[in-house]
Chain A
Amino acid sequence: MATAFNDVFETQNNQPAEAEAVVVRFAGDSGDGMQLTGGQFTLSSALSGNDFATFPDFPAEIRAPQGTTFGVSAFQINFGSVDIETAGDEPDVLVAMNPAALRTNIQSLKKGGLAIIDTGEFGARNLAKAGYAVNPLTDDSLAQWQILAFDISAQTLAAVKPFGLGNKEALRCKNMWTLGLALWMFDRDRAPLIAWLQSKFSKNPVLAQANAAALNAGHAYGETAEIGGPLKQYHVDAAVAEPGYYRTVTGGESLALGLVAGAKLAGLEMFFGSYPITPASPILHNLARLKEFGVTTFQAEDEIAAICSAIGASYAGQLGVTSSSGPGIALKGEALGLAIITELPLVIVNSQRGGPSTGLPTKTEQSDLYQAVYGRNGDAPLIVLATRAPSDCFDVAIEACRLATQFMTPVMVLTDGYIANAAEPWRVPDRAEFHAFPVDFDAEPDADGRVLPYARDPQTLRRKWIKPGTPGMMHRIGGIEKAIDTGHINYEPANHQAMTDIRKAKIDGVANFIPPQAPEIGNSKGRLAVVGWGSTYGAIRKAVQRARAKGLDVSHIHIRHIWPLPANLGELLRGYDKVLVPEMNTGQLKTVLRDQYLIDARPLNKVSGHPFKIAEIEAAIDGMLG
């Protein structure tokens, strides 16, 4: 967590000051390339060995009108030499490329923090668009922060002048100029970024040179303008990390990789049927390129066709996967029921976003837990898993593939917009580290020569998986209630009772095949358990660490298996006097825990479209134990 930045000791002998962790937020117009700046700064942090977490925060509009507050795109990164779990509560440094970016972001800047502002964009028109009656740089409204305001636009234009670009193109290099300054501020090597520019603009060497010149000029500006101003150089040491091979991953990337790995471990080809939707599309984008790994991607005509095609592929013997966000999952509901009654393996990824309806497409929320656990007609149980961080998506995706194929059931993976887009360093596992869970198809009738697709494994209650194309095993399945063994249509009351009971028992029984729940931090009994799921992981972890540092008896429990819940969870929770459940919804896991265990779980809720701040959870812990 970034607390150290303002307490750093004075710069001595031109040596950079030391900082443990820093939060930087780049904010500008959608067209200013802030996501790119943030992404490259992230790579630079990775190469410096820092631990980090990022939070890309962009508008729903693809190209909102220039200069408006709703067109502001921001990227926040928290990096440090210590463990970083969240993108940070408050930025230490804010880069604001126009008045709208300043207006929408300055309030989150830490008191005394540094705002770097491009005055080149502070004309009357832009000020008016941002809703400033008076130029904030000319009154004392920014007095609680350190302000470094100068004409970055002009600096950029001067730096790229030799390359003869048009004015518009030249100004596009502003983000690289800013990145250069940021690289100087944090004592970073420019070489990997220059190399990246060369490869990015390999088809247009002039643009590559211009961008590199802008980057160098930003860096040089830092070197020369330092004296006397608020601009200082800081050095953040490499974090202590386990030796190994690392890369940065976003949730979208790591989920895609996990699905590929999971299908491989099951010994199956993967079929991924999906329909584009924010923020789920990156998974489809990532998988579409991986044909050599036995992946077929299909961009369906709608959400329903996406899941139905995946069901068809599973029926034919591949691992069907579909992916969407809440509104799309709602459309898939009926087909989910089909996969449940036909007991076919299927993985459904829900990259949650703010709801209901179209809601907040680019903002994060955890409000689809009820939908995942309960949201279907009939008694229609399935497995629900939740990812907690970008790198965790990899493991959860593999777990989803394992459970789907081992139990012949749909498995829903809940991730969210924050995880999908945020990046963090990931120690890359080796193929050899995984245990395979190969699938056996059934190709022989039973001892009496009967074909019984609904005959079950007595332990797992998994039904048989018979691929079309298998001689002598022809059978029919469908959405009408099935006879308990043959799978023929059967409307008899006793049969429906038995089949409903079996479907429930099969999913309930999964609890015996998943790891028992243990606290992440703290004791397995005590005064308070903070119970979370999904992307609140980092904020809860840090808040609990801080509370424990203050001597409070509090533990952090984070649930991956949302349904069925781990077999020991009820007993574990009863070992604490109090239970606090922070969620980015109005209290969904809280309700499930109350229902399942009759415990007095207390909610802490936030649905602003932004992740929890550590301080918010810390305050709630203090409140519960105060």
Chain B
Amino acid sequence: MNAMTPITRPDEWATDQEVRWCPGCGDYAILKAVQRTMPDLGTARENTVFVSGIGCSSRFPYYMETYGFHTIHGRAPAVATGIKLANPELDVWIVTGDGDGLSIGGNHMLHLLRRNLDVQLLLFNNEIYGLTKGQYSPTSRTGTRSPTTPFGSVERPLAPCAFAMGAGARFVARTIDTAQKNMPEVLKRAHAHKGTSFVEIFQNCIVYNADVFAAFTEKKNAADNQLWCVHGQPLLFAGGAKGLRLNHETVELEVVDIAVGDTTEVLIHDETNRVQAQFLIDMPFGPFPMALGVLYCDPATSFEVAVESQRNRVVGDKVADFNALLRKGQSWEIKAKELRAV
């Protein structure tokens, strides 16, 4: 998509519907960022479809002045697949959450990513079930206390971006609900990518799992703990005082302190490098910062393009002769008493 003058204003992407998330919910900030970004994408509202499943995040389409389909729990990727195959011209966005997308809808998520349908997938990860009132989710950390885990969850959480990489995603990015400066950039990249763009958004559920990401999202922690990855740039954080390097002996990442401006040892972010992306996704938070931004982007043919090009190839100059189709195979004609094979 060429850079172009916006044809719409952000407010034109908002509906007249009353937004019904809890006051202070991180979803508001995401909605604002998306509405702010849409005009810059140069797409028309009528060609845009937001598809969602069930959960707090899945109310999203009602607030976007586009076409919207609020489907059933976990199935948004499947509905979106039908939409995009039926009309590849549409700009399709899927909005889902950690429960919707990774628990009940995990299978569809897997196959969406594997097929690489050209959609943007925004996964609001709040590590909890909000709409059903606070039960633990597949991304909840071990020990999470919830109505269904009163003594703490004994399960190990799923890492959404690692799941996406495993499923064969060609675009994996991570951002934060309140990152109003960075999120639009991530969204633009996701939109520009042809194929499934998987975007995990850390979203604060103020009611059931408040501040679960505070260790890197709070203002005072941000600089030291957020690493915004930019293609071709060294992987630096803490205001450039720290960086990541690869220990060639152990084949592991390490945090290095940067001596005045010398970044020679620091890894350069190569978003097309699958192994490096995997490292960034897998590094444990605490000893390491949280890697954010576009972690992996290596385009491949998208599903609807493959379907269409196969159709074109197979159909070629075949004419759709329905009468001939009906008469295909072993057929015969009966002409008043006489019989003959054809």
Contacts and interface: CB of A to CB of B under 8 A. Distances in A.
A312 B78 contact: yes
- Interface range, B side: 35 or more
Contacts, number: 204
Given A46-B332, A474-B66, A469 B82 contact: no
Interface residues of A, number: 72
Contacts of B334: 49, 241-244, 246
B75 A304 contact: yes
Of A311, A316, A428, chain B has the most CB atoms within 10 Å of the CB of A316
B86 A49 contact: no
Contacts of A428: 326-327, 331
B72 A305 contact: no
A174 interface: no
Contacts of A313: 82-83, 85-86
B79 A311 contact: yes
Interface in B5-28: 15, 17
Interface stretch (A123-131, A204-212, A291-299, A587-595): A291-299
B248 interface: no
Contact of B75 (A294, A305, A489): A305
B83 A468 contact: yes
A329 to B, nearest CB: 16
B7 to A, nearest CB: 12
Contacts of A245: 327, 331-333
Contacts of B323: 430-431
B72 A294 contact: no
Interface stretch (A143-151, A414-422, A476-484): A476-484
Interface string B68-97: 111111010111111111110110000000
A142 B71 CA distance: 63
B320 A293 contact: yes
Contacts of A238: 339
Interface in B309-342: 311, 314-315, 318-320, 322-323, 325-336, 339, 341
B65 interface: yes
A468 B47 contact: yes
Contact of A474 (B46, B78, B311, B339): B46
B82 to A, nearest CB: 3
A345 to B, nearest CB: 13
B163 interface: no
A291 B314 contact: yes
B325 A468 contact: no
A247 B329 contact: yes
Given A472-B46, A473-B46, A296 B86 contact: yes
Contacts of A401: none
A293 B335 contact: no
A309 B330 contact: no
A187 interface: no
Interface in A276-309: 290-294, 296, 298, 300-302, 304-306, 308-309
Contact of A292 (B62, B86, B318, B328): B318
Given A301-B107, A469-B46, A479 B82 contact: no
A186 interface: no
Contacts of A298: 81-82, 85
A261 B322 contact: yes
A304 B325 contact: no
B65 A431 contact: no
A264 interface: yes
Given A244-B333, A316-B87, A318-B86, A304 B78 contact: yes
B330 A43 contact: yes
Contacts of B85: 271, 296, 298, 309, 313
B214 interface: no
B8 to A, nearest CB: 12
A404 B118 CA distance: 29
B175 to A, nearest CB: 25
B307 interface: yes
A335 B72 contact: yes
A310 B326 CA distance: 25
Interface string A352-387: 000000000000000000000000000000000000
Contacts of A338: 71-72
Contact of B326 (A257, A302, A337): A257
B43 to A, nearest CB: 11
A292 B314 CA distance: 8
B68 A312 contact: no
Interface string A309-329: 111111111101000000000
Contacts of B335: 243
A273 interface: yes
A473 B52 CA distance: 19
A247 B333 CA distance: 8
A591 B62 CA distance: 43
B330 A476 contact: no
B83 A476 contact: no
B81 A46 contact: no
Contacts of B184: none
A271 B82 contact: yes
B44 interface: yes
Nearest to B52: A478
Of A260, A298, A334, chain B has the most CB atoms within 10 Å of the CB of A298
A552 interface: no
B79 A429 contact: no
B141 interface: no
B46 A468 contact: yes
A47 interface: yes
B79 A315 contact: yes
A62 to B, nearest CB: 25
A474 B330 contact: no
A57 to B, nearest CB: 22
B45 interface: yes
Contacts of A43: 330
A246 B82 contact: no
B67 interface: yes
A436 B52 CA distance: 35
B108 interface: yes
B227 interface: no
B293 interface: no
A229 B113 CA distance: 68
A315 B335 CA distance: 46
A52 to B, nearest CB: 13
12 contacts: A47-B339, A292-B314, A292-B319, A293-B325, A296-B86, A296-B307, A298-B82, A305-B75, A311-B82, A316-B87, A317-B87, A476-B70
Given A300-B111, A311-B79, A467-B87, 15 more contacts: A48-B339, A244-B333, A245-B333, A248-B329, A273-B82, A296-B85, A301-B110, A308-B82, A309-B82, A310-B82, A428-B326, A428-B327, A471-B46, A476-B67, A477-B69
Instruction: Enumerate the 5 nearest inter-chain pairs by beta-carbon distance, A residue then B residue, closest first.
Output: A312-B82, A478-B70, A308-B78, A476-B68, A309-B82
Interface of B: 15, 17, 44-47, 49, 51-52, 54, 61-62, 64-73, 75, 77-87, 89-90, 107-108, 110-111, 307, 311, 314-315, 318-320, 322-323, 325-336, 339, 341
